Amino acid sequence: MPERIVVPCPMKRMQYVRRQSLETPPKRHRPSSRRPGARGLLRRMHFTAAGRGLHYSAARGVVESALRVLFRGDWPARAWGRLPVASSVRVVHRRIPLPTPRPSPLRIAFASDLHLGPTTSAKTLDEAFRLLAVARPDVLVLGGDYVFLDATPARARELEARVRDVPARLKVAVLGNHDLWTRHSLLEDALTRAGAVVLVNAAARLDDLAVVGLDDPWTGVPDGERAFAAAEGAALTIAVCHAPGGFRHARGRGALLYLCGHTHGGQVALPGGVPLVVPGGRLARRFPHGVHQVDGTTLFVSRGLGGVEIPLRAFAPPDIGLFDLG
């Protein structure tokens, strides 16, 4: 019997190779094995700011990352809310006379430093916004720092609902350092949906009143010349900035009233309201809270409503401001 010789078929071999190449994805479609850059990795770990805010240190990133774990579920805010003091909000009410009296005063309401998150009780915010709604202001002014740690969709929705429920002919808002360190676009969109105008070195008008909004003096880029140019020709001008430090950009520009927060009045103070620590520089230490007269301008530094770092206030009660012009 002749020996059997098996010769490989070239066509079959080609078909096999072709099937194999179809089953193996081209190299260019494979998932990238490149590791994220150092800045991207730090941002994922919350060691750098998620927004445009300046001066976010690595040390702050480490502390806030630890607080995210420690305060998971916002339990400190709920615990503080069980205390009767959580529902206590002071109203600072002043009348500011005008050279030409108005038929009826123009009411300005101001609230700052809500700090939605693990260190602010919902009961405090409930009472504050109830008082704001009852006051029925002509203008609602918001001074920034709407969140602590993170701007989340849930917190943005809460901010929107609270601001929307305050009746006012004009609503304006500026951003604070804690906003600019996080995804501030979520907060800006929420404020806009609630009917507020977000001001960054710009002005909004209501009748003969201009409200000038300055960028945060520490983490932003304030521009007083540009902001007040937008208010040119107004009979009355007031200014708002997150922190007292912004007053140097408003000083001497004709603002009848300057509104700000940021300091929390120290948040933890000695009896009598003397703060232990005041963040925000020389002007913040000089004017840690309250109403002051400076070069013809009424300066109001609110203690704010919420807290940061710890869910505690001592001798620095939360407040809102009401100012009747005329």
In a domain, 177, yes or no: yes
pLDDT tens profile 140-174:
999 999 999 999 999 999 999 999 999 999 999 99
Count other C-beta atoms under 10 Å from residue 189's C-beta.
Answer: 13
pLDDT per residue rounded down to tens, the chain (326 residues): 444 433 344 443 334 333 333 334 444 434 444 454 545 444 544 557 788 888 898 999 999 999 999 999 999 999 999 999 999 999 999 999 998 888 899 999 999 999 999 999 999 999 999 999 999 999 999 999 999 999 999 999 999 999 999 999 999 999 999 999 999 999 999 999 999 999 999 999 999 999 999 999 999 999 999 999 999 999 999 999 999 999 999 999 999 999 999 999 999 999 999 999 998 889 999 999 999 999 999 999 999 999 999 888 999 999 999 999 99
**Where are the extended beta strands (E) located within the chain?**
90-96, 106-111, 139-142, 170-173, 196-198, 202-206, 209-213, 236-240, 257-260, 269-270, 274-275, 290-294, 297-301, 319-325
In a domain, 47, yes or no: no
- Measure the CA–CA gap between 72 and 133, rounded to whole angstroms: 31
Say if pTM beats, i.e. exceeds, 0.95.
no
In a domain, 46, yes or no: no
In a domain, 43, yes or no: no
In a domain, 11, yes or no: no
Number of domains in the chain: 1
* Greatest distance between any 2 Cα atoms in the chain: 126
**Pair of tokens at residue 31:** 């998932």
Contact (CB, 8 A) for 242 and 175: yes
In a domain, 1, yes or no: no
Residue with tokens 């993170």: 150
Q: What's the whole-number average pLDDT of the chain?
A: 88
DSSP state, residue 200: S
Among candidate residues 79, 91, 84, the one with its CA nearest the CA of residue 132: 91
CATH number (domain holding residue 139): 3.60.21.10
In a domain, 100, yes or no: yes
In a domain, 3, yes or no: no
Q: Which domain holds residue 190?
A: 67-325
